[in-house]
Structure 1
Amino acid sequence: MTSRTDSALVSVIMPAYNAQATLADSAHSVLQQSYSHLELLIINDRSTDGTAQLMESLAGQDPRVRLIHQENNAGVAQARNAGIQAAQGKYIAFLDSDDLWMPDKLERQLALMQEQGCLACMSAYHRFQVPGQWLGTSRPPARTNYKKLLKGNVIGNLTGIYDCEKLGKVYQQPVRHEDYLMWLEIARKAGDICAVPAPLAAYRVGHSSLSSNKLKSIQWTWDIYHRHLGLSAPRSGYLMLHYLAKAVLKRL
């Protein structure tokens, strides 16, 4: 695919905390996109390693890199929010500083959004510990919406992109599963969210990853239903059953 520099700007939000071992690869997977009209906002969440110096080096190599330095270590939600607030693009997309994009990720998603008239889009993604050695692939449905998304999150945050010019900027709350709560709000505004069936990103599986703690994940999901969305206990319980069933099927 060819580079397109005369189209809408995409703002890519990348929080970074002590990410000197992986940040360069993640950033390059963004900067080497076939869709080149983008800005990469890297938010340093008060790192204590060489992340800040690496960020400066990346910005010196490519003018599309914009740097934000947090005054305090406030967590991933606040770091992403700082990037969202500073974003200048029509579209907002997300990639963490240890994950990767395939080279045609943005181009394929923007083409599908235009073709189907969607205001938000996701894709399949690989899971890995060693780049190129995929542990498995998560594949979303062809389309989802708010009602369906309540029954379980099918949007990998590293694959999501939305039209903030039409939907407005949607910020994350400082809760566990902050990306799920954000995508629920985006889905509420956007209607249908479309999906590219091909894997366009790769998620690094860490042994100490918060999302790998399944019991805590169940509690966090319940809190989203019952506390943050204000759903009744019976309704929350009904949705939890769907969430658990999807979690089991995902591992089969």
Structure 2
Amino acid sequence: MLAFILARDTPPYLYRQTERSLLAVLPGIKIIVISTVQGGDCGEQINNALAASGEDWFLTFIAGEIVKPALAGQLEHWLHTGHSDTAGAVLDDASGSPSSFLPEAPVPRGPVLWRKEAVWSGHFPGFPTRSECPFDQYLFIDKQHQVSQKWKWRPLREELLIPSPLPPPPWLKEPETRKWILPLLLANDHDDETVGHDSHRQPPRISIVIASYNDGAYLPWSVRSVLAQSFSEWELILVDDGSTDDTAQVIRRLSGITSRIRGLTLPENRGKSHALNQALREARGEWVLELDADDWLAPGCCAELLEGAEAMPDAAVVWARHLQWQERANKQLVLRSVSRQAPVMSPEDLLIRAEPLAPRLLKTAVLRELGGWNTAAPFAGRLYEDLELLLRIARQSPFSFVPKPLYHRRIRSGSITHRQRQETFIKWESWMRDKLDFY
């Protein structure tokens, strides 16, 4: 049998401690340590090992845990009693509810024993890779919840393991991260079958649009956040803006999850404004919600924004606060801040702040009346296209503000806006002020 120890970037002595205790209890077991050293993808490492293995069952541990001798007898009994309808075994919880493992443990625990067949089921077969879930500390609990939609779990006694003694480092902000990420991971995916939605007959309320240029590695996580929405009357339009990576293949795969996801492939890269305008032509919703390919939505985002729209019927834009996550060199995400913007009062206010309004729900009729995103702006609509559009809308329509963080922004040091902002924004701002005739 295989056993995986999730070490991530913890000190080596922790996983060696688990390794020694495990070998003492199960001497013949094959142990694989899963690490993020040199940018390793934990989910991918496990999936590769499972694909090469002929075993039907495997074990998972967290670095630093100590395995007690009673585990051997428990496993032998469990495997020989026959549980063909179960995905594996969890610690002392016959229901298999993930929530029972979350409150106290430094890292969410998840199951001990897994059936490989169950792990390969669902929309995202295997353990989530970094593109499907960039928070690898929740790797096991995430997959447990996915599997729980169609499989059952059986209990193992709680005293079989001694938890890891080392809490996560403070800079990782684990309690805050858990607060914001677990609701998304533990949400149910809403597909056509679960909501009874016929995307070809009943127009959606919201058209969510993602334009991607060479961001195929980020799309699955962004799309997961759409599937997790508590509000179900949406469609998702994915636009491949002439990418040279695997974006087209990723979009084809994601479009197969539900008929409410559609993909558009553009023959060449002409910039974000052009790509968004192509999606606008296809949008059937009363509202358009723009989602960047490397960002994601909170589960209640669509529902809360629509409540904001209903509270101010003449608003053409509904927006809310967001959280910012810094992407480190190894692709690990660290919570940086929660935006604290006050409601926008005027076009001048928007331009002076020059801050992203994310999320932003835009009235489709107003977008079409204004001609969509401006491809004739400086830099061909590749930079500041969101702010330019919002400034045009603000001159004629009010904005509605929802004072809650409903969107997650990923801050990447290599993004085009980050690299070029200092040298381009002054030029763009000057053009914008002349256009709006502020002076």
Short-chain TM bin: 0.7 to 0.9
| Contact persistence 2:322–2:409 (CA under 8 A) | yes
Once the two structures are overlaid, the 10-residue window that deviates more, 85-94 or 169-178, is 169-178
| Contact persistence 1:17–1:46 (CA under 8 A) | yes
Give 1:189's aligned residue. Answer: 396
Note if 1:136 corresponds to 2:337.
yes
Matches within 5 A, 1:85-100: 85-100=281-296
Q: Which has the greater radius of gyration?
A: 2
| One-letter identity of the residue aligned with 1:85 | R
CA drift at 1:56: 0.8
Give 1:71's aligned residue. Answer: 267
Note if 1:151 corresponds to 2:352.
yes
Q: 1:137, 1:222 → 2: CA distance? A: 29
Once the two structures are overlaid, the 10-residue window that deviates more, 55-64 or 8-17, is 8-17
| One-letter identity of the residue aligned with 1:159 | P
CA drift at 1:16: 0.8
Give 2:405's aligned residue. Answer: 199
CA drift at 1:128: 0.9
Q: 2:366, 2:273 → 1: CA distance? A: 22
Q: Which secondary structure does the structure 2 equivalent of 1:207 belong to?
A: coil
| Contact persistence 2:203–2:284 (CA under 8 A) | no
Give 2:239's aligned residue. Answer: 43
CA drift at 1:147: 4.6
Structure 1 segments of 4+ aligned residues over 6 angstroms from their partners? 1-7
Note if 1:160 corresponds to 2:360.
yes
CA drift at 1:112: 1.6
| Contact persistence 2:211–2:241 (CA under 8 A) | yes
| Contact persistence 1:144–1:194 (CA under 8 A) | no
Give 2:426's aligned residue. Answer: 218
Q: 2:365, 2:427 → 1: CA distance? A: 34
CA drift at 1:8: 5.3
CA drift at 1:129: 2.6
Of the two structures, which has the highest relative contact order with CA contacts closer than 8 Å and spacing of 6 or more? 1
Q: 2:210, 2:222 → 1: CA distance? A: 9
Q: 2:387, 2:261 → 1: CA distance? A: 27
Q: 2:369, 2:210 → 1: CA distance? A: 16
| Contact persistence 2:305–2:319 (CA under 8 A) | yes
CA drift at 1:12: 1.0
| Contact persistence 1:167–1:189 (CA under 8 A) | no
Note if 1:180 corresponds to 2:387.
yes
| Contact persistence 1:127–1:137 (CA under 8 A) | yes
CA drift at 1:78: 0.7
Unaligned runs of 5+ in 2: 1-186, 375-379
- State the identity as a percent: 25
| Contact persistence 1:15–1:44 (CA under 8 A) | yes
CA drift at 1:230: 5.1
Q: 2:230, 2:203 → 1: CA distance? A: 12
Q: 1:70, 1:7 → 2: CA distance? A: 24
Alpha-carbon spacing, 1:231–1:139, altered in 2? closer, same or farther (3 Å): same
Q: Which secondary structure does the structure 1 equivalent of 2:299 belong to?
A: coil
Give 2:316's aligned residue. Answer: 119
Q: 1:55, 1:42 → 2: CA distance? A: 7
Q: 1:207, 1:33 → 2: CA distance? A: 29
Q: 2:205, 2:312 → 1: CA distance? A: 20
| One-letter identity of the residue aligned with 1:195 | F
Give 1:105's aligned residue. Answer: 301
Q: TM-score, normalised by structure 1?
A: 0.81
CA drift at 1:142: 3.0
CA drift at 1:119: 3.0
Deviation per CA, 1:185-205: give whole Å up to 9, x if none.
222232x21211111111111
Q: 2:218, 2:356 → 1: CA distance? A: 23
Alpha-carbon spacing, 1:110–1:37, altered in 2? closer, same or farther (3 Å): same
Deviation per CA, 1:30-64: give whole Å up to 9, x if none.
12211111111110011122111111111111111
Q: Which secondary structure does the structure 2 equivalent of 1:144 belong to?
A: coil
| One-letter identity of the residue aligned with 1:138 | S
Once the two structures are overlaid, the 10-residue window that deviates more, 111-120 or 147-156, is 147-156
Alpha-carbon spacing, 1:7–1:42, altered in 2? closer, same or farther (3 Å): closer
| One-letter identity of the residue aligned with 2:404 | A
| One-letter identity of the residue aligned with 2:317 | A
| Contact persistence 1:33–1:104 (CA under 8 A) | yes
